[in-house]
Amino acid sequence: MSNDLDFEGWVCPLPLRDTPTIVMGHGGGGAMSGELIEQLFLPAYGGAARAELGDSAVLSVPAGRLAFSTDSFVVKPMFFPGGSIGDLAVNGTVNDLAMAGATPLFLSTAFILAEGTALSDIGRVATALGKAAEVAGVQLVTGDTKVVDSGSGDGVFVNTAGIGVVADGVEIGPARARVGDAVIVSGDIGVHGIAVMSCREGLEFGTTVVSDTAPLHGLVAEMLATGIDVRVLRDPTRGGVAATLNEIARASGVGIELVERDLPVPAEVKDACGLLGLDPLQVANEGKLLAVVPADRAEELLAAMHRHPLGSGARRIGRCVAEHPRMVVARTGLGGTRVVDLPIGEQLPRIC
Amino acid sequence: MKYLDEFSDPDLARRLVDEIHAETTQPWAMMEVCGGQTHSIIRHGIDQLLPDGVEMIHGPGCPVCVTPLEIIDKALAIAEQPGVIFCSFGDMLRVPGSGRDLFAIKGAGGDVRVVYSPLDALRLARENPDREVVFFGIGFETTAPANAMTVYQARRQGIANFSLLVSHVLVPPAIAAIMESPTCRVQAFLAAGHVCSVMGTSQYPPLAERYGVPIVVTGFEPLDILEGIRRTVIQLEAGRHELENAYARVVPPEGNLPAQEMLRDVFEVTDRTWRGIGMIPASGWRLSDRYADFDAETRFAVGDIHTDESKLCRSGEVLQGLIKPHECAAFGKECTPRNPLGATMVSSEGACAAYYTYRRLEHVELSQPSGTGLVESR
């Protein structure tokens, strides 16, 4: 969303204008650090920033249970179709909170910047981050900036930590899946991973796949408002649906059976995966969630999800079974079965 | 992709499966040559749908699997040299050499890069004139034309800091070697469609004739494979042994003539060692004398590296169709995709990896200590 903004000449006060790229002094804690925060980060964050610039943010929180999560973002390239590392840094932590059923309230932002990174790029990232925070309705209350030598880092790394509140009666956790439960996904899978891969060196696809990065706590609120016992919520980010379902199967001791033909895989994602030899189930998502719910309430929950824009493509993709405990198995389109495995590490495109 | 979905239609697949059942009167063992076909067969559970006794034997057609250990060790030796940018397709990075892989070299500071086309490596050479850029040129007749084109372009554009580590292999000599093995059980072949799309089909009728085996050129989607099996069974039952092309939408009989011309210009046929199988005469390509300047083996003086395989690993027998992956004692125990002993377990198209990834339920004992979760951590 920030990719259209023009940041040429954007950093106007003298010290920043004189150094169009990050230098070690920006991380030194002195005047240049202060200028970077006051002239770049805070204006870019806009209304989402609530920083008194003390050593700690002092926050008023409602009574009840807090959810607390942190995540670091090292995505390359830092801008991709549909978003940037800034959007991800907000939505990633917001979604981690949402998957505990929490309403996200506050975020911290910590940047590790490589010497030589263009300030205009950092400005674009920070603006995207601020906008995403505004959209998600969270406040950016504290932060940090460090600079590492050129060659020690890769442009921009962002860490966010977040705090949210969990309403009474909400109990969500990966160990709560039970035999007989339905497995639901909120929409098309594999989109974010293919969007990022599509702009890596040497890979160009005929069609543009746009990242699905989005904050999911609004959708989760709609789901919880039904009063249905949502047992498990997870956002299938790195490792994709395959990794997340394997984690749920292992934590709860159930087997999970997917029906391959019910998986929502967009044609562009299927094409790209076919070309690269990847399994769409193992490709990353950023704006999707998986839910495990009692089967007899699944249709009711799906109806609620369909009323929310981020859940309009929600569907049932499988169920929890007593057979093959702790493993995920897919029924193939032809009627065979196969194990759906955890990816080992980075997905590697095949040779032919 | 609509185009591909049409070739996985479950109703059509059921009809083909029924026909195969109707045609089959006795057990048959046929080999799919290509690793992509193996992957598709196991991923879609096609072997589970065949009549009892119709056995798919998985062939040596995974380019990553058959790349010999010593070539991988040569790649590692080159990649760790200062000033080198070592480029490879992604799936070669995790293939173990003698104790290390390209990821380990990268982790130790080597400049190892995944590229999606050899022409990307050539571009890197152009952009980094003070570095030596090496591309790992492995694979069958499918990947060889693009690699040949890259060397041709390097010469044409005067890019002297580019070289190719070549380990190309050819399918027809491998078919001959398998048939001449005294332990061979293969009665028919599904030939690799992509290879034939480059080289054409003319090399196969003499093989079908000499060894008395049906050879059916077959694609990679589920319906392609079922159609290949159907035609193969019909030939076997009738006692015929001919070449048939069941992948005519992609494979013209003459193949891709410009690609063949490029191959003839840049490469020449040579003896090649296949990992797990051994040396097969005239089964590979090397750079021809005209392009010897671009040979990374001589440029980096790694020609005399020789290595030994793991004693436990039986991937050679898997590659020759003598055993199924799960019949190896190390399968799923000492050897898993996370800790592969041989390349058939590490390559995504390797037969052992396909069995482990998709068929672990049947072939690996599932009892495991609670808490670890991972079969491979036992």
Instruction: Check residue A206 and give its pLDDT.
Output: 63
Is A327 part of the contact surface with chain B (CB cutoff 8 Å)? Answer: yes
Q: Long-range contacts for A3-8 (Cβ within 8 Å, ≥24 apart)?
A: A3/A79, A3/A84, A3/A124, A5/A124, A5/A127, A7/A119, A7/A120, A7/A121, A7/A123, A7/A124, A8/A120
Mean pLDDT of the region A132-147: 96
pLDDT band of residue B310 (cuts 50, 70, 90) is confident
- Give this prediction's pTM: 0.81
Q: Which residues pair with B325 in a beta bridge?
A: none
CATH number assigned to the domain with residue range A174-339, chosen from the 4 options 3.30.465.10, 3.20.20.140, 3.40.50.720, 3.90.650.10: 3.90.650.10
Cα A331 to its chain centre, rounded Å, is: 28
Output B309 or B141, whichever has higher pLDDT. B141
Instruction: Give the chain B residue whose CA is nearest to the CA of A247.
Output: B373
Q: Report yes or no: A332 and B45 within 8 Å, Cβ to Cβ.
A: yes
Partners of residue A352 in chain B, C-beta under 8 Å: 36, 63, 139-140, 142-143, 194
Nearest CA-CA partner of A314 in A325, A305, A301, A326: A305
For residue A117, pLDDT over 60 is answered with yes
Peptide bond into A77 cis (omega under 30): yes
Residues of A in contact with B93 (CB under 8 A): 348
User: Can you tell me the distance from the alpha carbon of B13 to that of B31, in angstroms, rounded to the nearest whole number?
Assistant: 20
Confidence at residue A30, expressed as pLDDT on a 0 to 100 scale: 83
CB of A187 within 8 A of CB of A329? no
CB contact under 8 A, B366 and A338: no
d(CA A229, CA A295): 11
Residues of chain A with CATH 3.90.650.10: 174-339
Residues of B in contact with A203 (CB under 8 A): 116
Crossing angle of helices A298-306 and A217-225, in 10° steps, is: 130
pLDDT at B309 over 90: no
Give me A42's structure tokens. 């805070």
Cα–chain center distance at B18: 30
- Render the burial of B292-320: b for 16+ CB within 10 Å, e for the rest: eebbbbebbebeebeeebbeebbbbbbbb
Closest partner residue to B116 (CB to CB) among A274, A336, A349 is A349
Measured between alpha carbons, how far is A237 from B276 in angstroms, rounded to an integer?
Answer: 38
- What is the distance of C-alpha B359 from the center of its chain? 20
Cβ within 8 Å, pair B373-A250: yes
Where are the domain boundaries for CATH 3.30.1330.10 in chain A? 54-170
| Contact across the interface for A333 and B90, Cβ inside 8 Å | no
Selected residues 332-351 of chain B with any CB under 8 Å from a CB in chain A: 337-338, 347-349
d(CA A206, CA A198): 10
What's chain B's length in residues? 378
Q: Which of A337, A338, A351 minimises the CB distance to B64?
A: A351
Contact call for B44 and A332, based on CB within 8 A: yes
Tell me the three state secondary structure of residue A56: coil
Cβ–Cβ of B10/A334 closer than 8 Å? yes
Q: Rg of the Cα trace of chain B?
A: 21
Say what the ipTM of the complex is: 0.70
> Percentage of chain A surpassing pLDDT 90?
68
From chain B, pick out residues whose CB is under 8 angstroms from the CB of A265. Answer: none
Q: Is the pLDDT of residue B323 over 70?
A: yes
Residue by residue, DSSP assigns B37-67 as HHHHHHHTTHHHHSPTTEEEEEEEE-HHHHS
pLDDT at B363 over 80: no
Q: Are B325 and B331 in contact (CB under 8 A)?
A: yes
- Residue A271 zone, left/alpha/beta (φ > 0; ψ -120 to 50; rest): alpha
CB proximity B1 to A under 8 Å:
yes
pLDDT digits (tens, 9 = 90+) for A4-14: 444 444 444 44
| Residues of chain A contacting B118 with CB distance shorter than 8 Å | none
Q: What confidence category does residue B367 fall into, taking pLDDT thresholds of 50, 70 and 90?
A: very low
Strand order through the sheet with A182-185: A232-234, A290-293, A182-185, A315-321, A255-259, A328-331, A337-340
Give pLDDT tens digits for B114-150.
998 899 999 999 999 999 999 999 999 999 999 999 9
Q: Which of B49, B139, B357 is the closest to A351 by Cβ?
A: B139
Share of chain A above pLDDT 70, in %: 91
Mean pLDDT over the full length of chain B: 89
Kindly report the backbone phi and psi dihedral angles of residue A101, in degrees, each rounded to the nearest multiple of 5, phi listed first.
80, 15
Q: What is the fold of A54-170? A: 60s Ribosomal Protein L30; Chain: A; (3.30.1330)
Q: Does B2 touch chain A (CB under 8 A)?
A: yes
Question: What integer pLDDT is reported at residue A2 of this predicted model?
Answer: 41
Distance from CA of A325 to the nearest CA of B (A): 9
Q: Is B48 on the interface with A (CB under 8 A)?
A: yes
Q: Which residues in chain B touch residue A335, judged by CB atoms under 8 angstroms apart?
A: 10, 14, 45, 49
pLDDT of residue A203: 65
Residue A31 has a pLDDT of: 82
Count how many pairs of residues, chain A against chain B, have C-beta atoms within 8 Å. Answer: 111
**What local confidence, expressed as pLDDT, does residue A101 receive?**
96
Please answer yes or no on whether A348 and B138 come within 8 Å at the CB atom.
no
> Which residue, among B6, B48, B117, B119, would best test binding to A if mutated, counting the most A CBs under 10 Å from its CB?
B48
Least-confidence region, from A112-121, A273-282, B187-196, B259-268: A273-282
pLDDT digits (tens, 9 = 90+) for A152-185: 777 899 999 999 999 999 999 999 999 999 999 9
CB contact set of A125 (below 8 Å; sequence gap of 6+): A2, A78, A84, A85, A86, A156, A158
Structure-token match 């750079």, residue found: B287
Question: With bands split at pLDDT 50, 70 and 90, how would you rate the model's confidence at B180?
Answer: very high
Is residue B102 within 8 angstroms of chain A, CB to CB?
no
Report the pLDDT value the prediction gives residue B65, as an integer from 0 to 100. 87
